[in-house]
Each structure stands twice: as C-alpha cells, then as structure tokens.
Chain A
C-alpha cells in the first residue's frame, strides 16, 4: 500500500481552497473555517510550542515575555532555557562573560539589563557592599533547600547573615592539555608555564581574567593564589610577560580553540575540562599540585533587574533538582546540592575531573574578595594584555 504525505491530513488541498473561498464569501464563520481546516488546532499547538501559553502557576503577562541572564561560556544546557520558555512564555537572552571584573564593570556602569547573573563566591560581598544586588526572598524560591547545601561551598552566598545568592555549582581551576600533542605528563603550574614557553609555544592559552591568570602565575613560585604583595605580584608579572609572546591567545572562551586543535594547552575550569574530555578523550584536565583555585558560582539578582518576577521564576526553576541534574550533566561541574547528587548518574559522581582526589583539593584556595577590587592586580592584568 502506498503512503502519501496527504494521508492523515484533515482535508485535501482542493477542499481547503473550497472552505477558504466559502469563508471569504461569508458563507461560513471564522470559527467553522478554523475548525474544519484544522488551522485552529494548529495555531493553538504552535502557540504553546512557542511558549505563548503561560505556566499554570503564573497568570498570563505576570512574568513578561523576556529576560536576560549574564553567565559564563558553555555553562548551561540550552534545553533548560527552551523548556523554561515553553513553560512560562519568557524568552531568556543569554550573555556570556570572561571574568567577574567584566560583570562588575557592567553592573557598576548601570542599566546592564540583566535580571539574573552568575557571580563567583568571592565577589558577592563586594556586590552587596556596593548595593548592586538584592537580598533574595526565599519565599519565592520554594525549590531552594538550604539544608541540602554543602556549606563548605555555599557559605559566601550569605553576607552578614543575609542571603544574597544561591549556588549553581562548584568547581576548580586547573588546566586542560591535549596529550596527543604534548605527550610529557604534566602535574603542576610550573609544568604549565614551562611547557607554554617550550614544546607548547604558540599553542597555549591563559584566561582573560586577573584572578586565575595572575593567581596561577603566583602558584608557579609557590605564592598564595590571592597574593596582593607587591614583590610577589612583580614576579608573577615578570613570568606572564615572558610567557606572552609564546601564547596562542588570552581568552576565557578557550573551548573552540582546544576543539579545533589550534590550542593544545589552556587554563581551564572544571566544567570546560569535563566537556572537552568527554568529547575528545585525548584532552586531560590537570590540577596544579602547587594549588590554585576552588570556587562556587552563584545566582544573584541585580538591584536594577528589569524583570524580577521572571528572575525569581527562572531561579526557582533552576533550583528544581530535576532541572539541575540536566544542567550538571550538560555543564559538567559538580553540584553543591545533596538532592541533586542523589539524582546524578554514577559515572558523573566517579569522574575525577569533577571530584578530584582529596590531596589535590587540599591546597586549593577560594578567591579572596580583595582581589576583585585591588587596583594593583587590575593594572597588572591590563599591562600584561597591552604589552
């Protein structure tokens, strides 16, 4: 039996034209026309697919139809925002940034247009101090469960006892290396910078971000990741200036270059390391044995957020463990939420990129708030880039 694409259609093309002509002559009503042709049903389906029908919990129009989030490259499952739009009718515009300084600069300048953003642990107290973020109204976040959070990672969401941010995930800052191109095993920041100047010359990347680029250069000499001491910073600057001619690029969006084979070695965050290793097994993620950064990224709502109702709706949606699981599987960063960990697949929980051995975790430092606003570190980074 042959099957035509016309099978199953409510009516043939000729019948459709007949009905259309009758409708235009006024012989049948619009309602009748939409009914017999199936256009009415199609429009309704289309409308709900496009997210034009609001989520039951919200009245139509209450959330508006768009909001904007500021976050990091390759940090979310794109499906998350599509589903949120289907459920609420709110389209989410995603802006990605390369550093916390960049986010702070936008918020300080005003009118960023973001309703939600993803700051890192050490920046939250400064945002609060500068009165750039709102304290969070937990009653609007029924999916957030403070008791399920691992306090080691989430304490900085509270500033002076006021909840200002809720955690997205934690992670580490190490480096990713293409072991097909750079076969000598690497275990330290000393290896990273030395390789960048020798066998990896022209193929290494550092972040466009003062905290990690300066911090890891400090670790090369065994200094604290957060050092503000002028003599230690001077040594770090010397190293960075020596490395610069050998670099492939200074950028926090390093996945494209690592995937295309342009870059072989890059400073790297857990989630990017997990994504790269998952897709290209030859790319390893290494934590410098001297130490480096451990971090937690949070969600916070700017004081001047144009669409706070949608921000709370999206934030609550993201705090739903079922949604968070999808985010973690896509993004590859470990969760701070026990409810999410219970739902994560075992291979993810056993992944050493996400959950490094205790001896590698022990020397890591959380970023210090002072590094965010310190003029010497900011100017050092700017000098390095403009050299």
Chain B
C-alpha cells in the first residue's frame, strides 16, 4: 500500500466514528422530520402519511413565536457578548496569571448545577417575595419582574454568559502582546489600539461565542417557560406545544425544518462576516 493510500485509510478510520454518529443521530432524524413535515395529523394526534405542503403553508400561524425568537435570541446573544467581553478581557489580559485559573473555575462552576434548577432560583428571586418585596419596602410597590420579556432576557444572559466568556477569553489569551506594544510604538492611543488590534484579533472568538449562544437560544424553551410564565413564547415553546400538547407532529416538524433553515442562514451570515473581517486581518499581518 502506498503511503498516500495508507494516510487516506487512517484518516477515514479516524473519521468513521464521528461520521457514523452524525449519520445516525443527525442526518437520519432530520430526514425523518422532513418526511413527517410532509404528512398530516392523525385523527387522535401524531402522524399519518401524506404528501402535502399544507404544514408549511400554515407556518404564519406561528409568526408571533418566530418573531419573538428572532428578536429575543439575537438580543440575548448580543447582551451576553457585551457583558462577556469585559470579563474575558479582564481574565485574559489584566488578571495575575496565578489567579486566572481560580477565576475561570468560578465562571465554569455554575455549569455543574442544572440550568433548570438555576432558572427555578430566578423564579423566586424575581417573584413577588423576591426583589419586588424589597422594592415595596423602599417605597416602590407593585413592580412586576417575573413573566416579562425582561425576565426572560435576564435568564438568557445569566444562563449563557459562560458560553460567551470562554471562547472570547481563549482568543484574547492567545493574542500576541508584542502587537499591542508595536501599536503603541507606532503612536496609537490605547483606545485605537483596542479597536484596531485587540478587538479585531478577538473577532473569531466573539463570533464563535455569538454563534454558539444564538443557535442554542433559537431552540430555547425552558427559560421562557419558567421566567416568561407561558406568555413570552419562543419557537421552541411552540415546538414543545405541538409535540407534547396538540400532538400535531407534521406541523411541529415543518416548524422544526423552518427553524433549522433559519439557523443555517444565520450561521452562514456569521461565517461570511468573520471570514471577510479576518481575511482583511491576514492581509494586515502580512
């Protein structure tokens, strides 16, 4: 066997487990969902075979849920980004290296507790006996926090912040400090050094974090259920409802396919932006 052929064989063998996994748990289920989406709801609920686009034609019936998701998910990801960046910057650049591990651990530790339980805690913090009770004591009665879009946004930022901090932290940590010195030597103010060097070099980390959080948020349903009281309705909630209450699998499948489509478009756009900006960066470096 030639060495090139052997190399290909080794590559194929190493990739095989991942390929089988993707085929079994991603491609096949997705095909099943597409097939379901072309069917009809059985009389008692569920799926019965058919070949119709009626489910897709009915998508506007969930326009409000799509709209909520397409507003609150990017808003949540953006809020995460704005809060995460200074934290990641502090961790990567400012903090003493011997403390860094401890601080990163503190960010990761909440992940050891289930998101469900942490979100439940927020229900009580934002509920009538939590912060509103305190506000009443200081003369601000009848403030309602729970079951509002603001509460959902807060829950989203709280739950997903670590996922945003870590990729940005990694990209900032790898940053070559000599570039910052060079920038200063060439007469740039700290302000313009940050915007034209640090921020741009950490862009891939920001985009990774943003895409990661955005994709997860597009399918989010737990936080809106608990902190939105069933009133702030994401497309994820519509999906849960269609499968677990109205048992309309075909319509649920059509929504799932539409959601995957939206996620793909958003990801492609994010990739395009990153590629363009980092392409420019490489030219700069050369």
Q: Which residues of A contact B (CB under 8 A)?
A: 99, 101-102, 104-106, 108-109, 126, 129-130, 202, 208, 210, 244, 247-251, 256-257, 260-262, 373, 375, 378-379, 381-383, 385-387
Contact = CB atoms under 8 A, between A and B. Distances in A.
B246 A382 contact: yes
24 contacts: A104-B247, A105-B45, A105-B245, A109-B243, A126-B44, A129-B44, A248-B147, A249-B229, A250-B229, A250-B230, A261-B128, A262-B127, A373-B43, A378-B246, A379-B61, A381-B246, A382-B246, A382-B248, A383-B61, A385-B237, A386-B233, A386-B237, A386-B238, A386-B241
A260 B246 contact: no
Interface in B143-180: 144, 146-147
B44 A373 contact: yes
A291 B129 CA distance: 35
Given A130-B44, A386-B238, A251 B230 contact: yes
B247 A378 contact: yes
Contacts of A383: 61
B46 interface: yes
A386 B242 CA distance: 11
Contacts, number: 91
A261 B233 CA distance: 24
B132 to A, nearest CB: 8
Contacts of A250: 229-231
Contact of A208 (B46, B230, B238): B230
Nearest to B252: A382
A80 to B, nearest CB: 25
- For chain A, what secondary structure do more than half of its interface residues adopt (helix, strand, loop), or is it mixed? helix
Contacts of A375: 41, 246, 248
Interface residues of B, number: 29
Given A249-B229, A249-B231, A262-B127, A102 B245 contact: yes
A99 B247 CA distance: 13
A375 B231 CA distance: 22
Contacts of B243: 105, 109
A113 to B, nearest CB: 15
A385 B147 contact: no
B13 interface: no
Given A102-B244, A250-B231, A262-B146, A378 B128 contact: no
Contacts of B41: 375
Contact of A101 (B62, B230, B247): B247
The list of the 7 closest CB pairs from A to B, nearest first, reads A249-B229, A378-B246, A250-B230, A262-B128, A260-B128, A386-B65, A373-B44
A250 B245 CA distance: 14
Interface of B: prevailing SS = loop
Given A250-B229, A375-B248, A385 B241 contact: yes
Contacts of A262: 127-128, 144, 146
Interface string B32-70: 000000000101111000000000000001101100000
Interface string B217-252: 000000000000111010001100111111110000
A73 to B, nearest CB: 14
Nearest to A383: B61
B45 A108 contact: yes
B55 to A, nearest CB: 12
A248 B61 CA distance: 23
Contacts of A102: 244-245
Nearest to A126: B44
Contact of A247 (B43, B44, B231, B241): B231
Contacts of B248: 375, 378-379, 382
A244 B44 contact: no
Given A108-B46, A247-B229, A262-B128, 11 more contacts: A102-B244, A105-B45, A105-B247, A108-B45, A108-B247, A249-B231, A251-B230, A257-B128, A373-B44, A385-B238, A386-B238
A188 B129 CA distance: 30
B108 to A, nearest CB: 30
Contacts of A381: 245-246
Given A126-B44, A260-B128, A262-B127, A385 B247 contact: no
Interface in B109-155: 127-129, 144, 146-147
Contact of A382 (B45, B129, B238): B238
A385 B45 contact: no
Contacts of B65: 386
B144 A382 contact: no
B128 A386 contact: no
